[in-house]
Amino acid sequence: MTVTTWDELLVGEELAYLTTEPAREPRTAAVPDDLRPELREALARRGIDALYAHQAESYAAARSGRNVIVTTGTASGKTLAFNLPVLDALAADRHARALYLYPTKALAQDQARSLGELGVAGVRAAIYDGDTPTERRRQIRGWANLVLTNPDMLHIGVLPRHDLWGDFLHNLRFVVVDEAHVYRGVFGSHVANVLRRLRRLARIYGAEPQFLLASATIANADGLARALTGEEATVVEDDAAPRAERTVALWNPPLLDAELGLRASALGEASRLLAALTGRGLRTICFAKSRKSAELIHRFASDRLDAATAARLAPYRAGYTPQQRREIERRLVEGDLLGVTSTDALELGIDIGDLDCAISVGFPGTVASLRQQWGRAGRRGHGLAILVASEDALDQYFMREPPALLERRVEAAILDHANPRVLDGHVAAAAFEAPVDEGDAETLGAEALERAPHVPELRHTPRGWVWAGKDAPAARVPLRSTSPDAFLVVDASTGDVLGLAERERAYSTVHEGAVYLHLGRQYLVRELDLGTRRALVEPFDGNWYTQAKKETETAIEEPLRVERRLGLELSFGRVSVTEQVVAYQKKAVADGSTLDTVALDLPPTTFDTEAVWFVPRPHQLEGLEAMPLLLSSLHAAEHSLIALLPLWAMCDRWDIGGLSTNLHLDTGAPTVFVYDGHAGGVGIAERGFVQFEGWVADTARLLEGCPCERGCPSCVQSPKCGNLNEFLDKAGALTLLRRMLAA
C-alpha cells in the first residue's frame, strides 16, 4: 500500500489539520534472567525472545514488591507487562493466587482466551462472573489460581461471601486492574471502595496483595492508582513499543451558514470518506456514537458504492458473541470485509484485527477513547486516522486547536471514594463482612471510620462497628449510581433492565416521551412510574431526540476553598441544587430543528453536590451590566466553560450542571456556578477549581475562534440547556473571560 492511495482524498476546505506521526523503532530489553523456565518456554513458543523496555520495567518493579500502573499507548503490550510478574509468581508457588478485574465480561473473556493461548504450565485461569453456573463456582474457587471477574461480582458475589474465598484471599498475591481509566466518576468512586474492602479482607486472611494496573494514557496515572487502591504505585509510562507511521487528519464538515454556525452533517462526511477509502481497497473501521448513526453511515456509504463493494461493508454491534466477533475479524483479515461501522462498544480494547484506516465520527468524549479507536489503524503498515468533527463545541475547538487534542496531556481520570453518598454503602458492606474498627482506617481509609456513626443499621460494639440489618447491604449499593433510590430503566418489550437513572437526573433523562440512549441504541420512554421508580421504555427508531426544559436553583451550603484567582473570588464548595423539569422539546436528528414542545408535570428534586463558582468584579462586567445582556453574557460563559471542562476532567458534559444568575441570593451579586451532576460530587468541580486558569483560557480561545456571528451549537449553545438556549450572548461572555485572563 502506498501513501498516495489516500492522499488525493485529504484535500479541500474540510481538511482542518493534517499531520504524520512518525514510525518509531522498538526499545527492547532481554527477557529477565530470573523468569521461571515455564514462562520462558511459553514466551519462546509465541516467538517472543525479547521484551519492550516498559514490560521489563514493570516486571522489575512488580518483582521488587511495588504496586505498578502501566500507561503506555494502545497495542503496546500492556497485557504482557502485568502478566509476566503474575504468571511468574503463580508458576513459582502453587499456592499463590491472582485476581484480574475487567470492566466488562467480554474483556474478561478475551483475556482468558489469550492466557489460555499463552499456555503457561501451572497457571489455572477461570472466569467467575454472573454467567458462571452455580455448580462450577465451587470448583473454580478451589481449583483456579487466576480468577477473572468484574467489579460488580467482586462487590456482591465475592466479598460478602469471603468465608467461601478464605483460601483464595489468604494466598492472594496480585490484583490486576486492567482498563483502569474506566474506573472514574461515579463508577470509579465505587470501585475504589470495593478495592479497599478487598484489601481489608485480604489483610484479615493474612495477605497484602500487590496491585498492578493498566490504563490508557492520562494526566494523573499516579493519582488514579492512589485514588483507586489507597496505595502508592510506580508509574511506567515510557512506551517502548514500535509504532508504524500514522497519518492523522482532522476533518470538519463544511460550513453551510457562517452566521448561524451551521455545518454539513458529520454522518454524511463520514460516509463519503468510508466509501472513498473502501472503494480504494483500504480496510476501514468507522466509529459512531450511536447505533442509529452507525447504521446511517453504513447505508449512506453503501449507496455511494457499486453493489459488489457495498456487499463488503458491514455494521458491527455491541452484544456479539466471541464467535461472531472472530468471524468478523476473520473476514476482515482475509479481505472479504473492507469496511465496518460500529458504535464505540468496540473501544474497550477488544481486538478485531489490523486495519488500514480508522474514522471517528464525533469526539468520543476522551482523548484516551479517541486514541484507542485510532489505534486500530495501521498497526502493521502506514495507517490513516481521521476525526470527523460534530458541531459540538469541544469537537470544533479541536479543529481549530489541534495541539490541544494531539499534544497536550491534561485529561485526568477523576474520582472521589470519600463522597458520603458512595462511601456509606461500602462502610455498611464492610461491617457486614467483618466488624470495622480503628485499625481498618489503614485499608478502608479514615473517612470510612468517620462515616460509620452516620450509617443506619450499624451498631457500635466492643469488636467495632457491626452490621445489625438483615440482608447483605452490598446488594443495595449499585456501583454506577450515587443514589440508592435510583430509577430502573426497563425495556418493556423484553423485561430486561437496561440501566439505572439516578433520582436527581431521572426526571430530565427518562421522563415520559424522552428518547433514551443505551449502548448506542435508542429507546422511547413510555412511562415513568414515580411510585415504583421505574422507567418503562421500548426500542425506538424515530428521527428525533429530546431535550428537557427545567428550572434550576442553587444554594451555597459551605464554601470549602476560596481563592483570589483571575482577578475575582473563586470558590469551591458544597451546594444544594433544586431542579424542576417543566417541559421537553422534540428535535430533529438531521438538523436539530424543534419539532414540538410538550409540557410535563413533575415534582422538583433537590440534591447536594460540589460546585465551583465565581463572582465577577464590577470592572470585569463594565458595559455588560444592563439586563438581559448581563444574564446572557454569564449564561454563555457558563455553557462554554461546561463544554470544555471534559478536556480537563474525564467526564461527559452530561455529568456537569450549571447555573448563572444576575443576582444570587447567597452572594448578593452576579454569579456563575458549575456543579457536579452527581449527588455528593465525584471530584469534577474540584478539578475545575484547581485548573481554573487553563480552563478559562481554553474557553476564551473557543469563543474567539468560532466563526459564527452571535453564538451557535459549536460555542455557546448547549444540547442540555434547561432554558433551551435562550439568553446567550457570545460577545459578552468573551469580554468577561478576556478581562479575567488579563487580571
Query: Judged by CB, which is closer to Zn ion: 400, or 426?
Result: 400
Q: Between 66 and 105, how does the x/- string for binding to Zn ion read (CB under 5 A)?
A: ----------------------------------------
Residue of 581, 706, 733, 740 that binds Zn ion (CB under 5 A) = 706
d(Cα 150, Cα 195) in Å, to the nearest integer?
11
621 lies in the binding site for Zn ion (CB under 5 A): no
Q: Is the peptide bond before 628 cis (omega within 30 degrees of 0)?
A: yes
- For the chain, what is the radius of gyration of the CA atoms? 26
Sign of CA dihedral 41, 45, 51, 57: negative
Residue burial 86-110, b: 16+ Cβ < 10 Å; e: rest: bbbbbbeeeebbbbbbbbbbbbbbb
d(Cα 415, Cα 419) in Å, to the nearest integer?
9
Q: How far is the CB of 656 from Zn ion (least distance, A)?
A: 12
Q: How far is the CB of 710 from Zn ion (least distance, A)?
A: 8
Size of the site for Zn ion (CB under 5 A): 8
Residue of 219, 431, 637, 708 that binds Zn ion (CB under 5 A) = 708
Give, as ranges, the residues between 713 and 742 that touch Zn ion (CB under 5 A). Answer: 714-715, 721, 723
Which among 373, 396, 397 is positioned nearest to 386, based on CA atoms? Answer: 373
Query: Judged by CB, which is closer to Zn ion: 191, or 712?
Result: 712
Q: How far is the CB of 717 from Zn ion (least distance, A)?
A: 8
Instruction: Pick the piece of the chain touching Zn ion (CB under 5 A) from 177-185, 283-291, 440-448, 705-713.
Output: 705-713
Q: How far is the CB of 449 from Zn ion (least distance, A)?
A: 41
Q: How far is the CB of 700 from Zn ion (least distance, A)?
A: 13
Residue of 712, 734, 736, 737 that binds Zn ion (CB under 5 A) = 712
Query: Judged by CB, which is closer to Zn ion: 181, or 653?
Result: 653
- H or E stretch covering 174: strand 172-177
Q: How far is the CB of 46 from Zn ion (least distance, A)?
A: 52
d(Cα 737, Cα 624) in Å, to the nearest integer?
12
Query: Judged by CB, which is closer to Zn ion: 128, or 507?
Result: 507
Query: Judged by CB, which is closer to Zn ion: 188, or 253?
Result: 253
Q: What is the 3-state secondary structure (H, E, C) of 194-250?
A: HHHHHHHHHHHCCCCCEEEEECCCCCCHHHHHHHHHCCCCEEECCCCCCECCEEEEE
Q: How far is the CB of 718 from Zn ion (least distance, A)?
A: 6
Rounded to 10°, the helix 730-742/692-705 angle is: 140
Q: How far is the CB of 263 from Zn ion (least distance, A)?
A: 10
Q: HSE (CB half, 13 Å, CA atoms) of 396?
A: 27
Instruction: Pick the piece of the chain touching Zn ion (CB under 5 A) from 430-438, 452-460, 461-469, 699-707.
Output: 699-707
Query: Judged by CB, which is closer to Zn ion: 272, or 400?
Result: 400
Query: Judged by CB, which is closer to Zn ion: 420, or 604?
Result: 604
Query: Judged by CB, which is closer to Zn ion: 515, or 672?
Result: 672
Are 608 and 557 in contact by the 8 Å Cβ rule? The answer is yes
Cβ atoms within 10 Å, residue 494: 10
Are 130 and 156 in contact by the 8 Å Cβ rule? The answer is no
Query: Judged by CB, which is closer to Zn ion: 344, or 392?
Result: 392
Are 154 and 101 in contact by the 8 Å Cβ rule? The answer is yes
Q: How far is the CB of 532 from Zn ion (least distance, A)?
A: 32
Instruction: Pick the piece of the chain touching Zn ion (CB under 5 A) from 84-92, 121-129, 227-235, 702-710.
Output: 702-710
C-alpha cell at 665: 441570593
Query: Judged by CB, which is closer to Zn ion: 585, or 723?
Result: 723
Q: How far is the CB of 587 from Zn ion (least distance, A)?
A: 15
Q: How far is the CB of 599 from Zn ion (least distance, A)?
A: 19
- H or E stretch covering 705: helix 692-705
Query: Judged by CB, which is closer to Zn ion: 275, or 659?
Result: 659
Instruction: Pick the piece of the chain touching Zn ion (CB under 5 A) from 45-53, 173-181, 205-213, 711-719.
Output: 711-719
> What is the distance, to the nearest Å, from the Cα of residue 61 to the centroid of all Cα atoms in its chain?
28
DSSP structural state of residue 649? B
Query: Judged by CB, which is closer to Zn ion: 174, or 584?
Result: 584
Distances (CA, A) of 606 to 55, 398, 579, 642: 49, 35, 6, 21
Q: How far is the CB of 660 from Zn ion (least distance, A)?
A: 8
> In this structure, which amino acid lies at residue 522?
Q
Give, as ranges, the residues between 244 and 273 that touch Zn ion (CB under 5 A). Answer: 261
Give helix then strand counts, H and E, for the chain.
25, 31
Q: Which residues bind Zn ion (CB under 5 A)?
A: 261, 706, 708, 712, 714-715, 721, 723
